[in-house]
Amino acid sequence: MRIGFIGLGIMGRPMAKNLIKAGYELTVCDHHKDVVDDLVSLGARSVENGAAMAKECDAIITMVQNSPQVRAAVLSEGGVLETAKEGLMLIDMSSIDPVESRKIGEELAKKGCRMLDAPVSGGEPKAIDGTLSVMVGGDKADFDEFLPVLKAMASSVTYVGSLGAGNIAKLANQIIVACNIASLAEALTFSVKMGADPNLVYQAIRGGLAGSTVMDAKAPMMIEGNYKPGFRIELHIKDLMNALNAAHAVNAPVPLTGEVMEMFQSLKAYGFEKDDHSALARYYEKLSDTTIVK
């Protein structure tokens, strides 16, 4: 099976490398020549655009920033759909609006092509070691057929439902993560204002009901003042915007999501959009004139 891969960024590059390690023939496409050259040195073949890729691939993976970039890669001039043959599978592993996933899938279906939406969670470290979590929407038979491909990049691959369900699950994940980080920053700032050591408070509560993967990943960063990005604020803003748009389309109230979005927007206004999303602690620093950093 020859697989195409469009989008060799922070996540896409190691994911593509893991496909090569798993023995798949890979064709790649990206605007950055040095990244393409890196994959070619490992045995991949490069092409100019999605149309050229669709001529030779059985399945194409897109791993790009947002809905407009997926649309451009698939539906624009020079895109995948231009030359796609019947039966081609598009696996979109980007995190986008589920409504857009369904619309793109409808366009592909007109030419007899198939689609899975399969956004990922785990960040760059898990992309590198192939232990991402993947949430997948689409036809169950298609999911079963391409499960080995997804397993080459992930340790957890879960079928969620029809097309768009993968991105619904991803947006739910991003809502929970954002609200967790915000409440963690608030609680640690409260602890400092009350005269307690934030690290000792973290150690005291991490084994109880409040403990979480988010807490263990982000509390040490906040306490150290280390905001080197594992997941940038600007990307979480993108995900929450998609969540808000999707929620509004179906009249689902998401007041906590809206509140954290405004916190992120405030940090963006201060120029912190490239920081890790744990930098929500900076928001509380400005509110309280207090720092968590030891």
Active-site residue numbers?
A: 170
Residue 23: count other Cβ atoms within 10 Å of its Cβ.
9
Q: What kind and span of H or E run contains 45?
A: strand 45-46
Q: Quick one: residue 267, left, alpha or beta (phi over 0 = left, psi -120 to 50 = alpha)?
A: alpha
Q: What kind and span of H or E run contains 14?
A: helix 12-21
Q: Which residue has the tokens 């169950």?
A: 140
Residue 17, both tokens: 């490398």
Helix (DSSP H) and strand (DSSP E) numbers for the chain: 14, 9
Q: What are phi and psi for residue 194, nearest 5 degrees?
A: -85, 0
Pairing relation of β-strands 59-62 and 2-6?
Answer: parallel
Distance CA 157, CA 148 (A): 10
Residue 225: count other Cβ atoms within 10 Å of its Cβ.
15
